[in-house]
Amino acid sequence: MSDLTVRVPVETRLTWEYEPHLTRVHALYERATRAQWDPAADVNWSVEVPFGAPLPDDSGYAMASFESSPLARRGRPMWDAFRWELQAWMVSQFLHGEQGALVAAARLVETVPDLESKSCAAIQAADEARHIEVFARYLRDKLPAAYPVSASLEALLTDVLADSRWDMVTVGVQILVEALAMSAFRLADRTFHDDLIKRIVHLVARDEARHVSFGVLSLEQLYQDLTSSELADREELVLEAASLTRRRFLLEEVWDRLDVPRAAGVEFAATSAMMIRYRQMIFMKVITAMGSVGLMTDRVRTGLFALDLLPPERTRR
């Protein structure tokens, strides 16, 4: 993989106001300092990962989906191979996303206007470094091969990091990338197949919940006073990010590794009721966070529905 370089001028802001006045942000920072965990002491790295081993049957719903997929003609073991590769792909994308979040958190330390938010961003950067450590070690030591960053995730990170406005970075990372990851982590018991990765994502999810809360607290007051032009800018970012997210979960790289024709695999991922429902489920935390800061506008709802990321019953306010 080649490195990603994003050049953007930013305004570094320092404040000489040291008396806390954003009490909820300060409380979040204090909670984060008490909730730090140790990748060596809190994760049992001796747990074996039987990558590629036969897996128990999925639900009847999932098995019916398999029967209608381009994997079916290659037999039941191919479904297990797909499930293991999906896990490897997801953990790989978590790793790449965490590096993006690390860089974004460091950017926020420079650019947010108040000291409480700078402190929260700094401790988030420490969290992200720890997440990179555990995901990289899991992929390196426990799986046969990681996946490169998906083109759509790289495009999303480029879009977010290329923006000099701190609130746009916050929307892109805390409200979109982090909330999406948190939803995926919450589904780990159903989607992942070994106890080690389930333990890792349980620990990481606790941190991500704080990061999403930090994003909401940073934006909810600010976004009450957006002009119509400013709101349109942020709607555009949300919809572009949603489109890239949907594309990412068409799993192009997984089909390639399984030697499934990419077009057939993408068609299945785009139209399968099971895959659509999964994308909607992992997008729910994003929708909740956006609603908290006033970004679930009619335009955004319509756009998410068109992308199959919003169930019909959620299209109304």
Which H helix or E strand runs over 215?
A: helix 195-219
Would you state the pLDDT for residue 188?
87
Task: Specify burial of residue 178 (Cβ count, 10 A radius: 0-12, 13-18, 19+).
Answer: buried
Q: Tens-digit pLDDT profile for the chain (317 aa)?
A: 688 999 889 989 999 988 888 889 999 999 999 999 999 999 999 999 999 999 988 777 788 888 999 999 999 999 999 999 999 999 999 999 999 999 999 999 999 999 999 999 999 999 999 999 999 999 999 999 999 999 999 999 999 999 999 999 999 999 999 999 999 998 888 889 999 999 999 999 999 999 999 999 999 999 999 999 999 999 999 999 999 999 999 999 999 999 999 999 999 999 999 999 999 999 999 999 999 999 999 999 999 999 999 987 666 65
Contact 96, 149 (CB under 8 A): yes
Would you state the pLDDT for residue 125?
97
Would you state the pLDDT for residue 315?
61
